[in-house]
Amino acid sequence: MNGRSEFSADLNSLLISLALHLAVFGILWAVGRQWLNSTVNTNIEIIKSSVRVDLVSMPKFTLKELEAIQDLPHVEETVTKEVVEKAPEVTDEKDVTFKTKATSFDDFLNSQSNKKLKLKKKVEVKIKVKKENPLFGINKKELEKIIHAGNKISKGIALTGDSDADIKKVESEKYITGLISRIKRYWKLPSYLIDEDLNCAIRVFLKKNGNIIKLSIFESSGVKEYDEKALDAIKKAGPYDPLVEQIADRGARGDFVVGFPL
């Protein structure tokens, strides 16, 4: 009897000991994993901050050339259909609506030449221009890529780049940044207004193809000329690039509000 009870007591002790060991091991494992994760994350952050710079060479293009590239008209197909999207109701009374004239690349080339070119010779003219001007010898999108690569020391976007949401967000951000920089090129004020502490905001309604549907004054500066200069800047900067998928529907809703200056 004694021997049996001793065996039973030993077994209990063994089980308790095993359970305690397992518990301690479990705690250590959990803490260790947490520590390991945080260390890895910290290391990733350190690496991110150290490597998220795209090293570049000296700029290939001059400031003037970059301006010329940005001035190239937006190339698009001729619009044959009226607006499908209906703009939502706008409470502002001072709506400004206008139509934008569609232009083609051939039209642009023609406008650059003093001679009236015949339609048959169009292909020849294109080749000629490509040879004469290196700017037109490259696709505009390719040029923009070169500008990004060669003229800016810019932060990288992400370390891994595997997140679809991140990529979409980046595309939207890139579109908005492009939109702003385009408008900024035409945002000019006379000397007597440039130092005034004024601010206005314009609501922009865009088609999916980047054409302006209409503009409305969202917040007025109180100075008519200032508001008109802001409207002019948006008009002159258009038509814009086609809206990216993530914000395609928001253009027609008039969700874009452009502040002058903020």
Partner 1 sequence: MKLLICSICLILLSGSLFGQTGFIRMGVGKADLEADRIAIPIPLKVGNFSVPQSMAIKEIYEILVEDFSYYKKDFEILAPDRLPYMHIKRSNFFEPDYKSLSRRNFSYTFHLRVKSLVLGKNGPKTQDIKVDARVYRVRDKKLLLEKEFVISSGKIRKGVHGIGNDIYTSIKNKQSIFNSKILFVSDQGSQRGHQIKELFIMDFDGRNSRQLSRHNAVVVSPAISHNREMIAYTVIKKSGRKKTVDLYMHNLRTGRMRLLSNRPGINSGAVFTPDDKSLLLTLSYSGNAEIYQLNLKNKRITPLTKHYSDDVDPSISRDGRMYTFLSNRSGRADVYTAKMGKAESGVKRISYVGKFNATPRYSPNGKYIAFSSWVDNRFDIYRINSSGTGLVRLTKNFGSNEDPSFSNDGQFIVFTSQRVLSRTKAIQNLYIMDKDGEILGRLTKGFGNCISPRWTH
- Cβ closer to partner 1: 26 or 88? 88
Residue 138: DSSP 8-state? S
CA distances from 250 to 89, 206, 243, 247 (A): 14, 8, 9, 5
Q: Which of 19/56 has CB closer to partner 1?
A: 56
Residue nearer to partner 1 on the CB measure, 59 or 79: 59
Both tokens of 91, joined, read: 């409470």
Nearest CA-CA partner of 53 in 127, 157, 161, 133? 157
- Contact residues: partner 1, CB under 8 A: 55-65, 151, 153, 168-169, 172-173, 176, 179-180, 183-184, 187-194, 201, 203, 229, 233, 246-247, 250, 255-262
**Sign of torsion over alpha carbons 142, 145, 149, 150:** positive
Helix, strand or coil, per DSSP, at residue 87: coil
- In the complex with partner 1, the residue whose CB is nearer, 102 or 167, is 167
Give the nearest distance from C-beta 231 to partner 1 in angstroms.
12
Of the pair 123, 194, the CB lying nearest partner 1 is at 194
Nearer to partner 1 among residue 47 and residue 180 (C-beta): 180
Residue 159 C-beta: closest distance to partner 1, Å: 19
Nearest to 77 by CA among 106, 118, 111: 106
Q: How far is the CB of 126 from partner 1 (least distance, A)?
A: 22
Phi then psi for residue 256, to 5 deg, are -85, 120
Closest distance between partner 1 and the C-beta of residue 63, in Å?
A: 5
- Least distance CB 246 / partner 1 (angstroms): 6
Q: Least distance to partner 1 from the beta carbon of 73, Å?
A: 20
Q: Peptide bond preceding 59: is omega within 30 degrees of 0, i.e. cis?
A: no
Instruction: Give the count of beta carbons closer than 10 Å to the beta carbon of residue 132.
Output: 10
**Integer distance in angstroms from the first to the last C-alpha of the chain?**
91
Nearer of residues 119 and 165 to partner 1, judged by Cβ: 165
CA distance 232 to 4: 99
Q: How far is the CB of 196 from partner 1 (least distance, A)?
A: 10
Cα torsion for 169, 59, 127, 74, to the nearest 10°? 40
